[in-house]
A and B are shown apart, each in its own frame.
Chain A
Amino acid sequence: MGSPTGPQRQFPSGAAYAEALQHTQLCFQHPELKGARAELTRLGLPRAVSGAFASVFSLTSAASGQRYAVKCFTRHVPDQEQRYEAISSRLALLDPAGLSQPWKLGFEYLPDAVRVGKDLYPVLKMDWIKAVTLSAWLDAHHSDRPAVGRLADRFEALTRDLSAHGIAHGDLQHGNLLVASDGTFRLVDYDGMYVPALAGLGGTERGHRNYQSPLRGNDDFGAELDRFSAWVIFLSLKAIAVDPALWNRLHEPSGEFLLLTEEDFKSPAGSTGLRTLLAHADRAVSDLAEQVRSLAFQPLELLPPLDLAVPGPRTSATATPTPPPAGATAPGTGGLPGWMSGHLAEQPATTPATPVTAPPGGFHTRTALDVVVAVLWPLALIAALLLPVARIATALPGSLIPLALAATATAFARSRRTERVRSRAALDALTKQLAHVEDPAKAAAKLHKERTRFEAAEKHRQATYPRTQDELTAQYHAALRDAEQRRTRKLRDIAKKIDGLSEERRRALAKALADKQSAYIRNQLGRRSIAQSPPHGIGPKLVARLADDHGIRTAADFTGYRTVQNSSYNSTGAVLVLPGGRRADVRGIGEAKAAALVAWRQKVLAAAVARQPTTLSAAEQQPVEQNITHRRTQLTSRHTAVESETETARKQAKKRLEEAREHLARQNTAAETSARRKRQEFSRRTTEIQQNNTLHATLTTDVEAARSRQSELTYACYLRFLYRAS
């Protein structure tokens, strides 16, 4: 497999290393590794942790008992030894005391250290680090907000350590950032590390796709290599520290990312992750998300380092008690919601709560009229008693007249009392007011009904949204699948035709040769004239007759003969067959002469066949080749056309998806806004009902009171008032 010294050297596979490491006594020469004990799998093979470029094995030295992580490379990395040397000497200059945390990994690059088969390969011998990957750590600790906050700050400090020395790791991601049990970072995998001494060399890898700027290219290699990934990781950690539920919401179990993926950076509009963070209620999260979104479209060298953009002391993340994120529902974080203040100020004004001053009950203070009426009654009584005696009256009813007068006067006087007028007015006013105030019980029932109906509709709408999103995605995938199926079918047809071309070429060449040969033979036959060497039995006369009467001059002018039954009884004659099938009945040529002629022609033919050309000249082949080449070119360009058609179809499907998603998102936002308004309206109505409730109760009591006062102003009460001692 390839030359072991060439620049593109082939490397053993992970399984080949796992086999070799079954005998560390044989495969290693280094004193620490020779005979070292490899950690094994259940099957008894050395346990590997594999990445894209290498497999890492755990080996415990037989000599020192020291445990190592030994990285065996499965791919060629240009200038690997030089790179590791430069990295090693640069890192050696870093004073551990000057670092934010002990992230630095001790390692030694050993060229030609492991034997696999006949050949020797390098390994990277590293100190074994007891720590877990960042993703595993978050699985276990994401709900410990202070711890995640601290980790975010430590991460920021780590990036400052690196940038302070002009170093970039190159592949910052959850698998290369290990977290030790004390919550500090260990940085592993220095394969793609940039140190200033490597400035001239290119990059070796592009880093994990879920952490890189869409603009990072193969050749990017410099001190700012980590910036985008640093922002992505910092945003993720901060967001989780603020809102631990995000981990379960955006991180798929065992997904190869934290909260955001490549999709989020490439098309933020259509992705859920970044959109969720952008819309987060906590400003710290949404601002960082905004930052990441804008960074995705800036050239790498223009990206700001993480430390420049972290405002204030970095302890803020751990210390700030962050409020739970408010959803779209009513804000209820204590105090009054902002929208209410205005309403509350207006509220008393809008309610018709002007209290009606109720008059004290009963009649008070006699007027002159009252006095007159009071005097009238005794006089009327006396008159009523005296009139029958004095026979003034003519009839019995006549004696009741004075009493009737007194009663009428009393009724008149009562009606003139202001108490009655005022009380009536008060009752009327109160009743009218009460009629204006909506019955709170009814209003509450109505509101409740509306609210229930609304919330049910909202719930349905919210449940439909992700389903519609999924449907859009499924439609998109189906469109892509259809495009792929069309593509495969068309390409297969084209491939079949291309495969058929060589057969076609063979046939065309064979035909060209056959044509050439028959032309040659026709020509040869045409050159042999019968007159020059007539066959036996054909005299000059016959030759002349053949030529003159029938145009038969050469071997090319006839092809055979047929026997015919002569019209004259019982004799057999012959006719010559001409090219094209016509027949010539030549006088004087019977069967024998015809046979002789044909035999002569046969000999001529055999001689021609023996000398006929058996190959085509290059010039003769050319039209065939040209035709085939033309067809091949056509098919190839059809192939290209199919590919670009497919690409267009895919792009269109993608565009449709993005548009539909955006449309859906806009619709959703609008629906959310109107839902919020509706809920505000409900809350406003609730407070209104509460206030009305009090007012309604007051008014009802007042009406009751007014009624009872009204009942104190009857005729009897008035009579009693007239004679009451005041």
Chain B
Amino acid sequence: MPYTAEISRSNPTSIIFLVDQSTSMSDPIGGEVPQQKADVVADAINRLLTELSVKCAKEEGVRDYFHVAVIGYGATVGSAFAGSLAGRDIVPLSEVADNPARVDERSKRVPDGAGGLVETTVNFPLWMDPVASGGTPMNRALRYAENLVAGWTERYPAGFPPIVINLTDGESTDGEPSAAAEAVTAHATADGAALLFNLHVSAAGGTPTAFPDTADGLPDSYARTLFAMSSPLPAHMRAYAASQGRRVSETTRGFVYNADITSVVQFLDIGTRATELR
């Protein structure tokens, strides 16, 4: 069975985020309190990096089950890490965990247990800042990712294959991205082909869709293209998505269209769900 390799420190896997940083990412999304798309995406990734750090924490510290890259694409294509990791591509998780750009104090309203709410602050580590400027060079970003994927599969030929997660608001400005996407998933380890998942945050409207198994009902050709580019979810991710209340089928793809904020986080959680961390 593919996608069943044990993820361990000697056989880690890599997670490569591709983050659309084009000008249009400054448009708002979301319900009651609209937020800029770029903010939502940066927040989700920062949260996820904390999540991964906690998930991989053992008594002696954070274990390198994962190595992580955050690649931005907009005015330029390259590492989106800020702070001491700036410029780095794939970084072992333990190093990521120890080196956020900064730790913000965020105010939060928490139930006080007596029916009311109190204002408190929580520490929120940040690795990347929201950016929104320039075009959407998705082809270049995918080729950048392909390069990282190729290097990784060569280094860990038997491990769980790399997971590439592309977060974008839509249309590529450097050409149709399908071929570049196929090139990413053409790389494989003994455990399976590299996975490419897409999160589409579009202004085109239409029904939000998570983990569909058909392009029917997607509002435009960009969404359909991104859907077609997305890998089917491996069995354990399907099972996890189902346990999170998502409807899934055998051919469910790692694609989410116009998800709300919670779904973005959930999408990342499902997309990075490891088979088993041992």
Nearest CB of B to A37, in Å: 15
Q: Is the CB of A18 within 8 A of B54?
A: yes
When distances are taken between beta carbons in the complex, the residues of chain B under 8 Å from A132 are 59
B243 touches A477 (CB 8 A): no
Does residue B188 face the partner (Cβ distance < 8 Å to A)? Answer: yes
Q: Are B190 and A209 in contact (CB under 8 A)?
A: no
Cα separation A346 to B186 with both chains bound (whole Å): 71
User: A509 to B186, alpha carbons, bound, how many Å?
Assistant: 36
- Decide yes or no: A488 and B188 within 8 Å by CB, A44-B103, A255-B10 being known contacts: yes
What's the least CB distance linking B196 to chain A, in Å? Answer: 11
- State whether A491 touches B113 (Cβ < 8 A): no
Whether B9 lies near A254 (C-beta < 8 A) is yes
Q: C-beta contact mask, A480-492 vs B, less than 8 Å → 1, else 0? A: 1100110111011
Query: Which of chain B's residues 216-232 have a Cβ closer than 8 Å to chain A?
Result: 216, 224, 227-228, 231-232
Interface residue tally of chain B, by bracket? 35 or more
Asked if A26 is at the interface (CB within 8 A of a chain B CB), the reply is: yes
A415 at the interface (CB under 8 A from B): no
For the complex, give the distance between the alpha carbons of A502 and B212 in Å.
Answer: 15
Contacting chain B: which of A45-53, A303-311, A600-608?
A: A45-53
A22 located at the interface, meaning its Cβ lies under 8 Å from any Cβ of chain B in the complex: yes
Residues of chain B from 104 to 121 with CB closer than 8 A to chain A in the complex: 110-113, 118, 120
Are the C-beta atoms of B56 and A15 separated by less than 8 Å?
no
A118–B109 Cα distance when bound, in Å, is 11
Interface readout for B128-166 with A: 1 if CB under 8 Å, 0 if not?
000000000000000000000000010001100000000
Complex Cα spacing A2 to B262, Å = 12
A55 on the B face (CB < 8 A): yes
Residue pair B8, A255 in contact (C-beta under 8 Å): yes
Within 8 A of A (CB), among B60-94: 60, 63
Interface 9-residue window, one of A6-14, A510-518, A520-528, A549-557:
A6-14
Among A10, A22, A29, A45, the residue within 8 A (CB) of B125 is: A45
Q: Are A484 and B278 in contact (CB-based, < 8 A)?
A: no
B185 touching A15 by the CB < 8 A rule? no
Question: In the complex the two chains form, what is the Cα distance from A44 to B123 in whole Å?
Answer: 7
With beta carbons under 8 angstroms apart, the residue of A1, A18, A487 that contacts B244 is A1
Contact status of A209 and B6, CB under 8 A, knowing A50-B58, A477-B189:
yes
B50 close to chain A: CB less than 8 A:
yes
Task: Write out the residue numbers on chain B whose beta carbons fall within 8 Å of the beta carbon of A495.
Answer: 228, 232, 251
Given A15-B50, A485-B193, A502-B214, do A49 and B58 touch, yes or no (CB 8 Å)?
A: yes
B57 lies within 8 A of A481 (CB): no
**Contact assessment for B185 and A47 in the assembled complex, using a CB-CB cutoff below 8 Å:** no
Q: Are A26 and B157 in contact (CB under 8 A)?
A: no
B277 at the interface (CB under 8 A from A): yes
Contact in complex: B243, A50 (CB < 8 Å): no
> How long is the Cα–Cα vector from A255 to B269 in the complex, in angstroms?
25
Asked if A115 is at the interface (CB within 8 A of a chain B CB), the reply is yes
Distance in Å from the Cβ of B48 to the closest Cβ of chain A? 9
Instruction: Name the A residues within 8 Å of B266 (CB-CB).
Output: 1
CB-based contact B10/A19 at 8 Å: no
Contact B228 A485 (CB under 8 A): no
> Which parts of A466-502 form the interface with B (CB within 8 Å)?
473-474, 476-481, 484-485, 487-489, 491-492, 495-496, 498-499, 502
In Å, the complex CA distance between A566 and B211 comes to: 71
A646 at the interface (CB under 8 A from B): yes
In contact, A23 and B190 (Cβ under 8 angstroms): no
User: Measured between alpha carbons, how far is A2 from B266 in the docked complex, in Å?
Assistant: 13
The chain A residue with its CB closest to the CB of B242 is: A8
A23-B110, A477-B158 known; A47-B57 Cβ under 8 A: yes
Once A45-B123, A488-B193, A491-B232 are accepted as A-B contacts, the answer to whether A26 and B118 lie under 8 Å apart by CB is: yes
What residues of A have a CB within 8 angstroms of the CB of B231 in the complex?
Answer: 488
Tell me if A209 and B278 are in contact (CB < 8 A): yes
Known A-B contacts A47-B57, A255-B8, A477-B189; the reply to A26 vs B110 at CB < 8 A is yes
Could you list which residues of chain B lie within 8 angstroms of chain A, going by C-beta atoms?
A: 1-2, 6, 8-10, 47, 50-51, 53-60, 63, 97-98, 100, 103, 110-113, 118, 120, 122-123, 125, 153, 157-158, 182, 185-186, 188-193, 214-216, 224, 227-228, 231-232, 243-245, 251, 262, 266, 269, 276-278
A-B contact pairs, 9 of them (CB 8 A): A10-B244, A45-B54, A45-B125, A48-B57, A132-B59, A473-B158, A477-B189, A480-B158, A498-B251
The interface of chain A, by Cβ under 8 A from chain B, is 1-2, 8, 10, 13-15, 17-19, 22-23, 26-27, 29, 42-45, 47-50, 52, 55, 115, 117-118, 132-133, 136, 175, 208-210, 252, 254-256, 262, 473-474, 476-481, 484-485, 487-489, 491-492, 495-496, 498-499, 502, 639, 646-647, 650
